[in-house]
Amino acid sequence: MRIWLVVIAAAVAMLAGCVVVSEVPEQAPSPPSQGQGSDGGGGGDGGGDGDGYAFVHVLDDGEPVRWSTCEPIRYVVRPDNEPEGARALLEESLERIAEATGLEFEDAGSTDEAPAQRRRLYQPDRYGDRWAPALIAYSNPEEDDRLSGRAAGYGGPAFVSVGGGTPRNVSGSVVFDVDRMTSMGGDGAVRAVMLHELAHLIGLAHVDDRDQLMNPVLYGSQVTDLQEGDLAGLEILGDGECYPPIEPRSIRDSG
């Protein structure tokens, strides 16, 4: 049987777009930038921005690409440069996202893996014979040029599909710009950035609605928690199914 990797998209597609500014704009600003021109559509390709949410990847039938509901989302943290207190805020944010989606996270420990534009989803030497866990890392524009510009972070899922099966997310990345994230106004702002990027990891895309946390620009402390649209989108993303597992060994890159 021929099995192939249809897409390992993601981290590349969306993510330069999380522009975060630390101050309330003086006047009504022009519509927020949807990114640095490389995120292929920033506002997402479906899901209905008018509903207050949008999805990173949408299937032909309008359903978003989801994580399997019967396996926890495994993640590793690269602790280098982790700001003081960040771990507690991260755990709090993960709990909040878990609560909003019904999905579970599983801490798979620490890593020294650096974020990369074309991250391999299967790294058996590092993570064993399974999909690489989602990578959470603290970085800076010198190491990761996706953080150049005004982005305080980026995040997104990576999905796979075999045969004609439903694509599902199996990994992803969340990378924070340490300096920018911590200079924005304390724990509330850090948590807002974390929630925003983790929501990307689940599959939410940006929306134009400035009342939602998934607006690409966080205006100071105005919106620091998940809002109605964000929560509605996360609930839909969590409402998936238990997919039969896909063995990474069975897949080769179509690339």
Mention every residue, 6+ apart, whose C-beta is less than 8 A from residue 154.
Answer: 11, 14, 15, 16, 17, 18, 146, 147, 173, 174, 175, 197, 200
CB 206, min distance to Zn ion, A:
5
DSSP string, 128-181: -SSBPPEEEEEE-TTT-GGG-TTBSEEEEEEEE--TTPPPEEEEEEEEEEHHHH
Q: Nearest approach, Cβ of 143 to Zn ion (angstroms)? A: 19
- Residue 96, H or E segment: helix 86-101
Shortest reach from residue 9's CB to Zn ion, in Å: 16
Give the binding range for Zn ion (CB under 5 A) out of 18-26, 52-60, 187-195, 233-241: 18-26
Q: Judged by CB under 5 A, which stretch of 2-10, 11-19, 43-51, 135-143 contacts Zn ion?
A: 11-19
- Closer to Zn ion at the Cβ: 5 or 18? 18
Residue 166, class by beta-carbon neighbours within 10 Å (0-12 exposed, 13-18 middle, 19+ buried)? middle
Figure out which of the listed residues 18, 132, 217, 232 binds Zn ion, where binding follows CB under 5 A. Answer: 18
Nearest to 169 by CA among 215, 93, 103: 103
Residue 54 Cβ, how far from Zn ion at the closest point, in Å?
11
Kindly provide the residue ranges of all beta strands, DSSP E only, lying in the chain, ordered along the sequence. 20-21, 66-67, 73-78, 105-110, 134-139, 153-160, 168-177, 218-219
Q: Which stretch binds Zn ion (CB under 5 A): 16-24, 51-59, 136-144, 159-167?
A: 16-24
User: What's the min distance (Å) between Cβ of 157 and Zn ion?
Assistant: 13
Residue closer to Zn ion by CB (options 201, 236) is 201
Size of site (CB under 5 A) for Zn ion: 1
Span from 17-25, 40-48, 72-80, 119-127 in contact with Zn ion (CB under 5 A): 17-25
Name the residue nearer to Zn ion (CB basis): 65 or 251: 65
Question: Which residues form the interface with Zn ion (CB under 5 A)?
Answer: 18
